[in-house]
Amino acid sequence: MNHLTRRPRRNRKSDVIRSLVQENHVGTQDLIYPLFVTEGQNQTVAIPSMPGISRFTLDRLLDEVGLCVDLGIKTFAPFPNIPEEKKDRFALESKNPEGLYLRTIAEIKRQFPDVVLATDVAMDPYSTDGHDGIVDNGEIINDASLEVLGQMALAQAQAGADIIAPSDMMDGRVAHIRNILDKHAFYNVSIMSYTAKYASAYYGPFRDALESAPKHGDKKTYQMNPANSREALIEAELDTQEGADYLMVKPALSYLDVIKLLRDNSNLPIVAYNVSGEYAMVKAAAQNGWIDGEKIMLENLLSMKRAGADIILTYFAKEFAQYMKR
Ligand code: PBG
């Protein structure tokens, strides 16, 4: 009848065959779950722009970590919600050993020694300016900010962090942090650099969660222009030279090409940050019944793997782990 020798559909003819030829997979072990911690006790505060995600007081956060561990999630990225009265221009609260964040790190590691913590280094949660570096006359001062970031990273390592994740985009911070960590014999504490972090409107819900939006101006003098991809290679080259152990691209879905670019140009593990706005869009459409939220979650995570991500930081981690258990 006809003479089609090549019939790609043969490799799609059943579930089993489709699984045999499947090129990419997502597993719970690939995911890092971000967590929001807030001061006080016995409180879980839902974040309206991120349905399913809450800010937890430390006692409740520990319960949440326990639940997630039982689901197979092993790696977490905690972020602190700092009350306004503890903020200042220099983010001093970030190195207070009795402060919320360092206590949180120490307590999670004490109760769950096998859990891996990737801790956030940037000034914005602690800064009255809401910027990731020191602000002087409206300008974000790079080199003075490095001092603060280095001290913050050291304090987190002392509290028990396994991986330091600088999200600030100051120049030279990976080298500076590596140097301080090594000087204090934290040779085995890793650095997961936010290598290509774009100045993105997709961070809106996260800034609601932490109450950390910039009080003035925007982050365009340090975060990257969404129009650029070659610039991501410059950042990747520098982070690699400076000693990064992981390279991150953030956001993920609108930047799959950048994930692929770094994958093709580096042998380091590539991390995709599936950010708050990407999560919120899926949740909003699903709540309206406009899309199938669970299928979209799976498709999105798979897309990031296909683009070349080894690891995905995602607010969907718990939901994905629950799905895998079923
Ligand atoms: C700030 C930081 C941001 C996110 C992670 N770390 C926001 C920003 O740069 O303003 C965003 C994460 C998300 O949107 O999920 N250092």
CATH of the domain at 158: 3.20.20.70
235 Cβ closer than 6 Å to some ligand 1 atom: no
How much is the pLDDT for 186?
Answer: 98
Cα 64 from Cα 58, distance rounded (Å): 10
Per-residue pLDDT, averaged over 41-50, amounts to 97
Residues 6+ apart with CB under 8 A from 222: 132, 133, 140, 168, 169, 170
How much is the pLDDT for 69?
Answer: 98
315 Cβ closer than 6 Å to some ligand 1 atom: no
Catalytic residue among 87, 95, 250, 318: 250
Residue 252 lies inside a defined structural domain of this protein: yes
Residue 304 lies inside a defined structural domain of this protein: yes
Q: Which of 148, 149, 200 is nearest to 174 (CA)?
A: 149
The domain tally of the chain equals 1
Q: Probe ligand 1: pick from 35, 124, 145, max atoms within 8 Å of CB? A: 124
Q: Give the three-class secondary structure for 260.
A: helix
Domain of 297?
A: 24-219+229-325
Is 109 known to be catalytic?
Answer: no
Cα 311 from Cα 313, distance rounded (Å): 7
Residue 10 lies inside a defined structural domain of this protein: no
| CA angle at 199 for the pair 210 and 219, rounded to the nearest 5° | 70
Hunting for tokens 């942090």 — which residue is that?
177
131-186 tens-digit pLDDT: 999 999 999 999 999 999 999 999 999 999 999 999 999 999 999 999 999 999 99
How much is the pLDDT for 1?
Answer: 67
Instruction: Tell whether the torsion through CA atoms of 104, 107, 109 and 113 is positive or negative.
Output: negative
Mean of all residue pLDDT scores within the chain:
97
User: Token pair of 126, please?
Assistant: 């602690």
133-146 tens-digit pLDDT: 999 999 999 999 99
196 Cβ closer than 6 Å to some ligand 1 atom: no
Is 220 known to be catalytic?
Answer: no
Residue 100 lies inside a defined structural domain of this protein: yes
Residue 237 lies inside a defined structural domain of this protein: yes
Instruction: Tell whether the torsion through CA atoms of 299, 300, 301 and 305 is positive or negative.
Output: positive
Distance 124 CA to ligand 1 centre (A): 9
pLDDT at 2 over 80: no
CA nearest ligand 1 atom 14, residue: 203
CA nearest ligand 1 atom 6, residue: 167
Residue 8 lies inside a defined structural domain of this protein: no
132 Cβ closer than 6 Å to some ligand 1 atom: yes
Residue 269 lies inside a defined structural domain of this protein: yes
Q: Cβ(150)–Cβ(177) under 8 Å?
A: yes
